[in-house]
Amino acid sequence: MKTFTMNISRMSIGLIYALFPLFSLANVPAVNLKMGNPTQEELTMTSYDLDLEAKAVILYNEQDVYYDIVDDKFVIIYDVKKRIKILKSEGTDLANVTIPYVNHVENGKLQEEIFGLKAISYNMESGEVVKTKMNNSQVFDERLDNDHMLKKFTIPQVKEGTVIEYEYKLQSEYYYDINEWYAQTTIPTYYTSYQLTIPEWFSFYVEQTGWEHLENQRRDRDYKFSIHGQLLQCVATEYTFIGKQLPAIHSDGFIWCVGDYITKVTTELSQVHVPNSFAKIFTLSWDDVVKSFLEERDFGGRLKRKNPLKEEMTAAGIDQLSDPQEKILATIRLLQSRVRWNGKYSLFASNQALKDGIGNNADMNFLLIQMLKDEGIEAFPVLLRRRDTGRIPLTHPTLQAFNTFIVAAPLGDKQVAYIDPSAVNGYLNVLPSRLLVESAYCIGGTAEEKWLNLQRINKGRTTTIIDAQVTSDGVISGKVSTSHIQNSALSFREDFKASKDSVTFVNSIADENDIQILSYQLEGHHDFLPKVIETTMFKKQVDATNGHIYLNPLIFIPMKESPFTDTERKLPVELPFAQTENINVRLTLPEGYVVEEKPNDFIVRLENDGGMCRVLSGMQDDVFNLQFTFTLNQIYFSPEEYAGLKDFFDYVVQHLGEMLILKKES
């Protein structure tokens, strides 16, 4: 047995206090940390030695955030300055800049305003620096919706080799909500700084997260406001974060939300105490967060509403069912027949879902809770944040932590079903991968522990039985029966429905496995059930020459190449769900043939029960039997674990490619 060991200590994403010098690496440009005068090195550089593939590099990015008083109101000022070097022609799109801001059509609401916008490009022509300023005709505003605008502008004369600069100030009346600051983007950053100054009257949680180093400092200093000509003085806390030579960060197929790993600074308001006014305390605990949701008309109010489908449930005989699971399933199917999911997730319901026959997942979940309560099943919400929108910041409670919810319904004997009826491809305890979060919060129920790990409620299972025979001229024919169970069934249904049509789907199976499909049947692929069953009759030609037959005994090879090709990885690997796949092959040999060589039996494991793969084979009379088992129990692998994960998959793929060689007896 081979075991791949991995260092499973997870990298800390909290504050890091070690410092390193700005010019710690050779062959990087000398950068002017002031606007308006790029250095000769910045103007003439043709590549960035720390990332030779980069289309551009942020040379200098500064954001200064501070409070002011305007028209007797507190505002936050975001003072932004940025310089970028365009290294390749595809980087010229960075000259098109979009700045979102809040601008309500309805008067009286809090607003934002952008002012002081300037932009300029620098090009080297015949050894001289040519500066081109942006004029007002290249700036325009676009309304996104009733509450948001986009400030768009294009910096002129930008091409490969150009240095661009722009600066602006954004004034926001949302004094209680400070925007996140990102130290990294999809292009590398040479130098970036963020200074945040908060008067003593506002208490914020300030947190740095991410996997890159930032120098940071915190100090108290005097701070002054002018109001009606009078000076208002206080103490302010000034936070400074500086990043140097930060790499680009990109999402890929193994990261749910790259924002979880971008180096950034986030804030959350905890208390306001302005002079001559009462102190206002914001969220102090997760119970406070939940209470605020329960006080919302479109959340807590929905939980108290009566069941609008009571008569239809009675007509369907749901109240006559005694088994809680059957009652829950019948209720879900009735709901799904009345309301179709619109593809959107939310915490709050609309008012038209039942009338229009379409709604978001919150619409469907609120209706399900109301319907189940009418049948004596005390269902309750489970709050969560989708995996594709980032992890919940568990360091402090926040109203922004959750963006949707699912339903928990008791089944009896302390068992609970976790459901989202918008997941028509799922089942009880079978949720889309984006909802399988590590931390979800229960509102209700009898469990002492409110936090749940939804990744543990189920896993995907696939079982395949191949019963085939091979002829002396190398033709394999037989039957394949595959059961996709739980999360694997959901995944299969999604793939099937994403295909152009059923013929295209079947042809893709034939092409992938180099077989001829004689017949193909599916069961359960359109139903709200825990299983999908495939039945395939097939034929396949393999190499038969000089009294030998060469074939891969798995026939339907589960893994032809490893998904992990990079030698190292800076980000973790996040997989959709835990899974197990079993394949049992029964291959009848042609008369007069024996096994000359067979694939090696093996078992390989990831450390700490993270996963396992095993192949066992042998002869029984004229039948060659092979058993394949592949299991992944772990779905998060840190960068330190990546090497072991890659070795594991490489080993499996290598051995799954081994051939069975049959020889005709003399």
Q: Do both 339 and 373 map to the same domain?
A: yes
Number of other residues whose CB lies within 10 A of the CB of residue 563: 13
Task: Name the DSSP letter for residue 55.
Answer: S
Model confidence at 13, in pLDDT bands (50, 70, 90)? Answer: very low
CA distance to 172, 314, 332, per residue, from 311 (Å): 51, 5, 15
Q: CA 444, CA 38: separation in Å to the nearest integer?
A: 60
Separation between Cα atoms, residue 521 and residue 502, nearest integer Å: 11
pLDDT at residue number 24: 39
**Same domain membership, residue 330 and residue 275:** no
Smallest CA-to-CA distance from 196 within 209, 208, 212, 187 is with: 208
* H or E element in which residue 271 lies: strand 264-272
Coil, strand or helix at 306:
coil
Last residue within a domain, chosen from 257, 280, 303: 280
Residues 316 and 330 in one domain: yes
Mean predicted confidence (pLDDT) in 644-664:
96
Task: Tell me the C-alpha distance between 80 and 166, whole Å.
Answer: 8
The yes-or-no verdict on residue 225 having pLDDT over 90 is no
The single residue listed with the structure tokens 């979800």 is: 440
Q: What is the pLDDT of residue 264?
A: 96
Q: Is residue 487 included in any domain, yes or no?
A: yes
Residue 6 lies in a domain: no
Separation CA 349–CA 356 (nearest Å) = 13
Using alpha carbons, select from 579, 384, 386 the residue that is nearest to residue 486.
Answer: 579
Q: Indicate the residue type of 419.
A: I
Q: Could you tell me if 643 and 541 lie in one domain?
A: yes
The answer to whether residue 612 scores a pLDDT higher than 60 is yes
> Which of 91, 99, 114 has the alpha carbon at shortest distance from 164?
91
Residue 18 lies in a domain: no
Beta carbons of 313 and 332 less than 8 angstroms apart: no
Q: Does residue 43 belong to any structural domain of this protein? A: no
3-state secondary structure of 642: helix
Q: Are 664 and 31 in contact (CB under 8 A)?
A: no
Contact 83, 35 (CB under 8 A): yes
Which domain, by its residues, includes 417? 287-456
Residue 449 binned pLDDT confidence (cut-offs 50, 70, 90):
confident
User: What is the rounded average pLDDT for all residues in the chain?
Assistant: 91
The number of residues making up the chain comes to 666
Residues 231 and 83 in one domain: yes
Burial-class residue 157 by CB neighbours within 10 Å (0-12, 13-18, 19+). middle
320-347 burial, b for 16+ CB within 10 Å, e for fewer?
ebeebeebbbbbbbbbbeebebbeebbb
| Whether residue 466 sits in one domain with residue 431 | no
Check the CA dihedral 525-527-528-533 and report its sign.
negative
Please determine, for residue 177, whether its predicted confidence score (pLDDT) is greater than 50: yes
Closest CA to 549 of 603, 476, 477: 476
For the chain, the distance separating the N- and C-terminal CA atoms, rounded to the nearest angstrom, is 36
pLDDT at 29 over 90: no
Q: In terms of domains, do 303 and 273 share one?
A: no
Buried b or exposed e, range 189-212, using 16+ CB within 10 angstroms: bbbbbbbbbbbebbbbebbbbbbb
- Helices 361-374 & 324-338 angle (0-180, nearest 10): 140
Q: What residue has token string 């294009």?
A: 154
12 has pLDDT over 50: no
pLDDT of residue 277: 67
Q: Is the pLDDT of residue 22 over 50?
A: no
Q: Does 127 or 282 have the greater pLDDT score?
A: 127
Confidence band (pLDDT; 50, 70, 90) for 556? very high
CATH number at residue 67: 2.60.40.3140
Mark whether 369 and 497 lie in a shared domain.
no
Does residue 416 share a domain with residue 342? yes
Q: Report the C-alpha gap between 130 and 43 in whole angstroms.
A: 11
Instruction: Report if pTM > 0.75.
Output: yes
Same domain for 558 and 655 = yes
Name which residue leads in pLDDT, 232 or 48.
Answer: 48
Q: pLDDT value at position 17?
A: 28
- What lies within 8 Å, CB to CB, of 544 at 6+ separation is 472, 473, 474, 550
Cβ burial, residue 6 (10 Å; 0-12/13-18/19+): buried
Burial class for 610, CB neighbours closer than 10 Å (0-12, 13-18, 19+): buried
**417 and 408 in contact (C-beta within 8 Å)?**
yes
Q: In angstroms, rounded to a whole number, what is the distance separating the alpha carbons of residues 646 and 563? A: 8
Domain membership flag for residue 25: no
- Rounded Cα distance between 504 and 18, Å, is 56
How is 116-149 classified by DSSP, letter by letter? EEEEEEEEEETTEEEEEE--GGGEEEEE-SSSEE
Q: Which residue has the tokens 């835990």?
A: 578
Shared domain for 417 and 556, answered yes or no, is: no
Question: Crossing angle for the helix pair 502-513 and 487-498, nearest 10 degrees?
Answer: 110
Rg (C-alpha) for the chain, rounded Å, is: 31
Point out the least confidently predicted range of 54-68, 170-184, 284-298, 327-341: 284-298
The answer to whether position 33 is within a domain reads no
* Of residues 313, 407, 429, the one with CA closest to residue 363: 407
pLDDT confidence band for 27 (50 / 70 / 90): low
Q: What are the tens digits of pLDDT across the range 453-479?
A: 999 999 999 999 999 999 999 999 999
How high is the pLDDT of residue 637?
A: 95
Based on the fold, state whether residues 373 and 509 are members of the same structural domain. no
The CATH number assigned to the domain holding 309 equals 3.10.620.30
Q: 49 in a domain, yes or no?
A: no
SS3 355: helix
End-of-domain residue from the set 231, 260, 280? 280
The whole-number average pLDDT for the span 366-372 is 96
- CATH number, domain of 547, equals 2.60.120.1130
**Per-residue 3-state assignment (H helix, E strand, C coil) for 366-398:** HHHHHHHHHCCCCCEEEEECCHHHCCCCCCCCC
SS3 95: helix
The predicted model gives 115-131 an average pLDDT of 95
- Is the per-residue pLDDT at 5 higher than 90? no
The domain total for the chain is 3
Q: Which tens digit of pLDDT belongs to each residue from 478-534?
A: 999 999 999 999 999 999 999 999 999 999 999 999 999 999 999 999 889 999 999
Quick check: 58 and 83 in contact, CB under 8 A?
yes
Q: What is the DSSP string of 444-461?
A: SSS-S--EE-GGGS--EE
DSSP H or E run through 329: helix 324-338
Main-chain dihedrals φ then ψ at residue 115, nearest 5 degrees: -145, 170
Of 265, 280, 295, at which residue does a domain stop?
A: 280
- Read off the pLDDT of each residue in 71-86 and give the average, rounded to a whole number: 95
CA dihedral 262, 264, 269, 273 (to 10 degrees): 180
- Nearest Cα neighbor of 551 from 561, 538, 564, 542 is 542
Angle at CA 47, nearest 5°, toward 44 and 49? 120
> What totals of helices (H) and strands (E) does the chain contain, helices first?
10, 37
Decide: 147 and 103 in contact? Cβ < 8 Å.
yes
pLDDT at 626 exceeding the cut of 70:
yes
Residue 590 lies in a domain: yes
- 92: DSSP letter: G
User: How many Cβ atoms sit within 10 Å of the Cβ of residue 540?
Assistant: 20
